[in-house]
Structure 1
């Protein structure tokens, strides 16, 4: 199993899924633009998640991304950052285009950096998080390694190519799949 493959546990802890759904509903997203908080992230952040990553099935790790009339899916990795993203769903993120390789926009709250390296080299089709800006990132082109990048999972199918066809800024709604 490679580090980017979702964990295929024989069974998920139902309580963990219920907790993630409850937290997502309580802290849920809002329509319109999200605002990124300022302050430290990860290990230096006293408010960062220290809970263990829930043991979720592949189905629990699916998210739906809607941009206009286009719908995509992604499969999240089994990580503390991905689990934190699930607690924020549904969320609507106003995204801008950067360098013809990625769409980025701020999440409502920072994601945990527990267990993450200082940076990553995302592949075309990765779903990511840029920790310094608290940004969700859709990689549709080749981005080189950079500090602060966290790979959250993979866009499914031809989603990266379809996102590449969308010029300029977008509004993306991300929901549990």
Structure 2
């Protein structure tokens, strides 16, 4: 009887430890979770594009400036850039990034919002803010200045 009681006690103890561990850590977010994304819309050459900003200090600072109308200029045949009215916080951001076409970025040294339509290599000072859902070709097809309106469209 003593052996059976000890086995039940050990089994219950293990079950409680497992349950406590499962309850103490939050579930891992999945790809479908949007709790860390901010939805935006961009009007480019009369076309409406959508995208997401990451819920980071820089992303929240950009959100606070919306709506924005920016005249973006071509830079290096891979990106459109425009100076923002107010700088964004780069707290917690890595020292640089290697953005891909379709990324929305911030070039901290110049206080520029950047829309990448070509392949840019790693540079210090680049902070990835989010991504466009598509429409990169609309941005890249203009070699001159491009008027871009950006607004928050909800979470």
- Say whether the fold is shared (TM-score over 0.5): yes
Q: Within 5 Å, which residues of 2 pair with 1:43-122?
A: 58=37, 61-122=38-99
Runs of 4+ with >2 A deviation: 5-9
User: Which ranges in structure 1 are unaligned for 5 or more consecutive residues?
Assistant: 10-55
Q: Within 5 Å, which residues of 2 pair with 1:1-177?
A: 8-9=34-35, 58=37, 61-157=38-134, 159-177=135-153
- CA contact 1:6–1:75 (8 Å) conserved in 2: no
Aligned-pair Cα RMSD in Å: 1.9
Secondary structure of 1:85's aligned partner: helix
User: How far apart, CA to CA, are the structure 2 residues paired with 1:63 and 1:144?
Assistant: 25
Instruction: Map Cα deviations across residues 89-141 of structure 1 (whole Å, 9 max, x no partner).
Output: 00111111011100000010000101101111101110001111111100000
What is the number of residues matched between the two proteins? 125
* Cα pair distance change 1:114/1:6, threshold 3 Å: farther
User: How far apart, CA to CA, are the structure 1 residues paired with 2:70 and 2:33?
Assistant: 27
User: How far apart, CA to CA, are the structure 2 residues paired with 1:6 and 1:172?
Assistant: 29
Instruction: Map Cα deviations across residues 146-170 of structure 1 (whole Å, 9 max, x no partner).
Output: 011000000112x112211222111
User: How far apart, CA to CA, are the structure 2 residues paired with 1:173 and 1:163?
Assistant: 12
Q: Which has the higher helix share?
A: 2
User: How far apart, CA to CA, are the structure 1 residues paired with 2:140 and 2:131?
Assistant: 15
User: How far apart, CA to CA, are the structure 1 residues paired with 2:32 and 2:111?
Assistant: 23
Tell me the TM-score normalized by structure 1: 0.66
Q: Which has the larger radius of gyration?
A: 2
Tell me the TM-score normalized by structure 2: 0.74
* Cα pair distance change 1:6/1:66, threshold 3 Å: farther
User: Which ranges in structure 2 are unaligned for 5 or more consecutive residues?
Assistant: 1-27
